[in-house]
Structure 1
Amino acid sequence: MSEWTLSLTVDGPERTQALAERLGAGLRAGDLLVLTGELGAGKTTFTQGLGRGLGVRPGIISPTFVLVRRHPNVPDGSRPGGPDLVHVDAYRLASAAEVDDIDLEDTVDSAVTVVEWGAGKVEHLADSRLEIVLERAVGAAPAGGTVDEHGQEDEDAEPRRITLTGIGPRWAGGPPSLEPPAESPAPGH
């Protein structure tokens, strides 16, 4: 089975979302992403960026209480005709059998499926997956982080280490390009 790992550090939620947006722009129907990280590590923030890259309807929030949310592609969005996003929170699910009870098999081939807390529970859904681990980069100083009126650093501005591991034939070609698009020269130059 093919496998590669790429680890990056980003500062704050905006950069987390920008990285995820670049990743989302290259995802396709049938892609399975498994997000792992402690509470507050940025899993839903990351998924919001993926949604922008996929061109789905805005308003992505954690599916903690409903378990699954489907975000449809927007016909006049950034990727008309692209796949929908199925966002799952498997925190309260104890096993792969409980995952099967929420019928992800019905959408896994036609949408991009993102499962928070899914490690050890969803691998059977697809031949390939992208595992994404989000961690607070403990001991790293925020680059350009903000400080509130009490002199406390903005916790959201803490650097995050984001590690992507591609597993299976879908990811055999190596990691996707996560570089920002090159800026176009100004007209007349």
Structure 2
Amino acid sequence: MKPDFPASGTRRLDTAAQTQAFGEELGRALEAGDVVILDGPLGAGKTTFTQGLARGMQVKGRITSPTFVIAREHRSEIGGPTLIHLDAYRLLGEDPEDVDSDPIGALDSLDLDTDLDTAVVVAEWGGGLVEQITESYLLISIDRETAVAEDPESEARIFTWQWRSGH
């Protein structure tokens, strides 16, 4: 990741547009080989965030939830890295412990056309698998409960991120 984006932090984002703008900011800072794990409950804004991230990376194709296809590849429009957007929850299957022996094999089974060293991987529900394929990754946790507890009408999300070591 380029050094102009902070390695850790917290932001409160009140709207989907703000969530996409934050994603776009991060997308401009990501480089080939970067891995991002998005952690948050259903409806937290993982795909909305990834839509902005894809805009920042300037990749082709509409960003939708990868839930039913498990992974989508989006090629760069400007010669930058490919975005691999995946749903690790579906990849893990019934027993997340099963992939511990071969996490790369689990990802290889997707038949992706891209070398992971030339791509940015963004994994929804990636905990337990994706961090095993990399030396370091950016973990982004999305909290939608805190703002709703303060104001039941709130649409705000609190994004917390930090670079972590894999393996």
TM-score by length of 1: 0.71
1:26-41 aligned at under 5 Å gives the runs: 26-41=29-44
Match of 1:20 among 2, 11, 23: 23
Paired positions, count: 148
Q: Is 1:164–2:157 an aligned residue pair?
A: no
Whether the aligned pair in 2 keeps the contact of 1:56 and 1:85 (CA below 8 Å) is yes
Counterpart for residue 67 of structure 1: 70
Counterpart for residue 49 of structure 2: 46
Deviation above 4 Å: which 4+ runs of structure 1?
A: 103-106
2: distance between equivalents of 1:72 and 1:105?
Answer: 11
Q: Is 1:129–2:117 an aligned residue pair?
A: no
Q: If you compute each CA radius of gyration, which structure gives the higher value, 1 or 2?
A: 1
String of CA shifts for 1:46-71, please: whole Å, max 9, x gaps. 10000000001141001111101001
1: distance between equivalents of 2:90 and 2:66?
Answer: 11
1:165-180 aligned at under 5 Å gives the runs: 165-168=162-165
String of CA shifts for 1:158-185, please: whole Å, max 9, x gaps. 110001011249xxxxxxxxxxxxxxxx
Counterpart for residue 138 of structure 1: 148
TM-score by length of 2: 0.80
Unaligned runs of 5+ in 1: 75-79, 143-152, 170-189
Shift of 1:138: 2.9
Unaligned runs of 5+ in 2: 1-6
Counterpart for residue 57 of structure 1: 60
Q: Percent identity among equivalent residues?
A: 47
Counterpart for residue 90 of structure 1: 88
Whether the aligned pair in 1 keeps the contact of 2:88 and 2:130 (CA below 8 Å) is no
